Structure 1
Amino acid sequence: MNERVIAPKNRGFLFLDSHPAGCRKLVDAMWRAVPAGLPGGEGPVALVIGSSAGYGLAATVAGLARAGIRGIGVCFEKAPGRRTGTAGWYRTAATAELAREHGRDMVFLNGDAFSDAMKDQVADLLKRRYGRLDHLIYSVAAPRRTDPDTGTTYASVLKPIGAPYTTKTLTFDAGTGPQVTEVETAPARDDDIEQTTAVMGGADWERWIAHLADRDLLADGFTTAALSYIGSPLTAGIYRQGTIGAAKAHLEATARTLDERLGKLLGGRALTSVNGAAVTQSSTAIPGIALYVGLLRGVLGQDMVPPIDQLTGLWDQLTGTRPLTLDDEGRLRLDLWELAPAVQEAVAGRWNRATTETIAGLADLDWFHAEVQRLYGFAVPGVDYTAPVDTDIPWPNPDA
């Protein structure tokens, strides 16, 4: 046991330590926010790739609490050592504990989801413990990917395409408080688009499906969804029209290919699920997103739909509790609340007026700042941050 007081230490939006008790309480709150679903017992078999953070964590918790899933979560987290474990380490331990308490058979594997070794480990565990897979949720945001066939390592970048991109952005400095500034990002060059697409596009998702299909591990009617984002015209220059947008377009093209293949093979479906805006460890790294999300919250207040509610809706649609809500391109849309014209018009008006002097009256800065801290288990109501806490939380079910 290694008990100590953990204070938040950060560099911008990046925190150096995580708080186990705060992470545990956050996951518990997510579970309690899900409307009651299936009782404990045999639910559908599911695999969530990227199960420890953001939309993937919400998909895992909502799947367990609402759809009664059993199966496997895959993520890549750092164990406690000189510093605390990563927040995802503690969130995974908390999710596993809640799953056990509610009679859900869920195993979590820690490692590189891009590797064939992890795909083999998952396939072996499925065959031994669960049988065929009913659902696969793909939610991976990573800076690098090594291609198992060639050994080439690709790196993703956040860059516009064609010309430099200048946008307003929001920063929090302990000395000066919230600042609205402008930042310019140089355009993609050389093979930046191809590299980013190789990491964040559909290649690995397709490889997972092929790997499991080759082992005869996909059930009849199998469905898979890759989680994605479109976002506002205000952020399109760096996001949807940038290198990440090119990768998302590849992801959507992959969905169409997989949908046709799975339909013929199993009567199954492949979809991209377009989610609404949220504060995540990935999104805070994108220029302009912090300002946009703070302003969006300022417009919507409590009507902003959190990830756990969005992903509860996804499971209802995947399991047939509700009909699929698809757009003309076959994408499942969970972001319509965000992109409603009246909402976007109001956010755009605030964006145009946003300066360091005016931002406090336009954006919900207290909420945004607390949300960033909660990504690491801080600023969680009901947690005594002056009390020592055990940081040596073990990984769940290591024998699996």
Structure 2
Amino acid sequence: MSIQQITPKQRGYLIVNSHPAGSAATVDRQWRRIEPAAPVGRAPVVLVLGASAGYGQALLLAGLRRQGIRGVGVAYEAAATERRTATAGWYRTATTAALVEQDGGDITFVNADAYADATRAEVLELLAERYGPVDHLVYSLASPRRTDPATGEVHHSVIKPIGAPYTSPSLLFEDGTPRIGTVDLTPADEAEQAATVKVMGGEDWQLWVRALADADLLAPGFTTVALSYVGSEITAPVYRQGTIGAAKEHLEATAHRLRTGLLADRGRAFTVVAGAAVTQASTAIPSIALYTSLLRTVLGEEGWRTTDDQAVDLWEQLTGAKELTLDEQGRIRLDGWELDPAVQDRVRELWADPAAALAADPAGSAWFYGQFRQLYGWDVPGVDYTTGVETSTPWPA
């Protein structure tokens, strides 16, 4: 037992501790927001890589509530110590497992580095023994580094433009008060570009599909999706035209190679272009916080599509309940609400003078800050932060 009264330890867009009850409450709220549906037919076997946060977590929860999925969720989270809480993803996973058990579901959660061959071997053995062939593989990993299993070399991703420096307004928070700052980035060199592609491109995704195929664990009609993002032309210099964009292009090229090669007569592979979201990955990208805040100001609550909304939409497309929304590159698009021309025109107007936009309507930035804090379990409505809480939570058995 480790009962502690804790307060957030925050440095910019990083909070180094998390609140167990707040993290649990965010999952419970997601669970209740997703309208359940009666599953039709056999429960699909699903492998979710990156199951403890962002779109991976949303797709796992939506799959449970809407499709009755069973299978394996993989995440890489840190347990609590005497000096630190566990990561928010650890607490979220524990809560998800409890909800699955209450609902009579069957998901096994593996806490391990999904980039490692040892993890692949562990997961393949688990699938073979308990679940059988996989119907859907969801690839939603986000990490600043990756160890190449073939060479042992550790590659580090960078968030930089390519070809020219990048200067942009940015959203900063001092003591919770938003203000407009400036970000200046130098262009990436070739080594940094290559390393970012190694971490965030499609190499590891392809290794997972190959491993499943070699183990005879691809179910008939197998489908795999990898989460991606395009975003606005406003943020393109640091995103789609930068190092991250180069990695996303490699991810998309990998989907094509899988469709026409390994899965040509065995299944489908798509990248999924999701809409803007406040995630631990997105808050690390310069100017994205400001863009997302202004987008929220324009759309408001009614026009915003949450990760849960988009996850439900994607499952309906993957299962055939709705027609696939494909672009000319064969990518599944969930971002039409964000890239609507009228919406983007209004965001560009606000971007032209973000300080004035912030002064005129701070609702978007306040929403963003609240969403960011809730990623770590802080500022969640209904949670009492004045009392002690158990920080040592076991990983789901």
TM-score normalised by length of structure 2: 0.97
CA shift for structure 1 position 261:
2.8
* Distance in 2, Cα, partners of 1:360 & 1:60: 39
Alignment correspondent of 1:285 = 284
* Contact residue 54 and residue 279 of structure 2 kept, 8 A: yes
Alignment correspondent of 2:133 = 132
Q: Summarize the alignment of residues 194-273 of structure 1 with structure 2, pairs less than 5 Å apart.
A: 194-266=194-266, 268-273=267-272
Cα distance 1:372–1:360, how it changes in 2: closer, same or farther (>3 A)? farther
1:148 aligns with 2:128: no
How many corresponding residue pairs? Answer: 394
* Distance in 2, Cα, partners of 1:90 & 1:349: 40
Task: Report Cα offsets for 1:255-294 as digits up to 9, x if no partner.
Answer: 011112354332x110001000011111111110010001
Task: Report Cα offsets for 1:57-84 as digits up to 9, x if no partner.
Answer: 1111111111111000011100011210
* Contact residue 255 and residue 272 of structure 1 kept, 8 A: yes
* Distance in 1, Cα, partners of 2:112 & 2:38: 30
Alignment correspondent of 1:396 = 396
Cα distance 1:328–1:358, how it changes in 2: closer, same or farther (>3 A)? closer
Alignment correspondent of 1:97 = 98
SS of match in other structure, 1:264: coil
CA shift for structure 1 position 43:
1.2
* Contact residue 298 and residue 346 of structure 2 kept, 8 A: yes
* Contact residue 40 and residue 104 of structure 1 kept, 8 A: no
CA shift for structure 1 position 54:
0.9
* Distance in 2, Cα, partners of 1:229 & 1:39: 29
Task: Report Cα offsets for 1:82-112 as digits up to 9, x if no partner.
Answer: 2100000000101111111111100110111
SS of match in other structure, 1:171: strand
Give the letter aligned to residue 389 of structure 1: V
* Contact residue 49 and residue 74 of structure 1 kept, 8 A: yes
1:384 aligns with 2:384: yes
1:163 aligns with 2:151: no
* Contact residue 42 and residue 70 of structure 1 kept, 8 A: no
* Distance in 2, Cα, partners of 1:287 & 1:362: 21
Alignment correspondent of 1:359 = 358
1:15 aligns with 2:15: yes
RMSD: 1.4
Alignment correspondent of 1:72 = 72
CA shift for structure 1 position 40:
10
SS of match in other structure, 1:183: strand
Give the letter aligned to residue 103 of structure 2: H
Alignment correspondent of 1:36 = 36
Instruction: After superposing the two structures, state which structure 1 stretch, 115-124 or 189-198, moved more.
Output: 189-198
Alignment correspondent of 2:308 = 308
* Distance in 1, Cα, partners of 2:395 & 2:40: 23
Alignment correspondent of 1:87 = 88
* Contact residue 40 and residue 67 of structure 2 kept, 8 A: no
* Distance in 2, Cα, partners of 1:56 & 1:219: 21
SS of match in other structure, 1:191: helix
* Distance in 1, Cα, partners of 2:39 & 2:259: 31
1:60 aligns with 2:56: no
* Contact residue 41 and residue 103 of structure 1 kept, 8 A: no
* Distance in 2, Cα, partners of 1:306 & 1:262: 33
CA shift for structure 1 position 309:
0.7
Equivalent pairs: percent with the same residue?
55
> Which sections of structure 2, spanning at least 5 residues, go unmatched?
none
* Distance in 1, Cα, partners of 2:241 & 2:104: 44
Give the letter aligned to residue 214 of structure 1: D
* Distance in 1, Cα, partners of 2:352 & 2:130: 55
* Distance in 2, Cα, partners of 1:377 & 1:361: 29
Alignment correspondent of 1:299 = 298
Give the letter aligned to residue 113 of structure 2: D
* Contact residue 39 and residue 67 of structure 2 kept, 8 A: no
SS of match in other structure, 1:72: strand
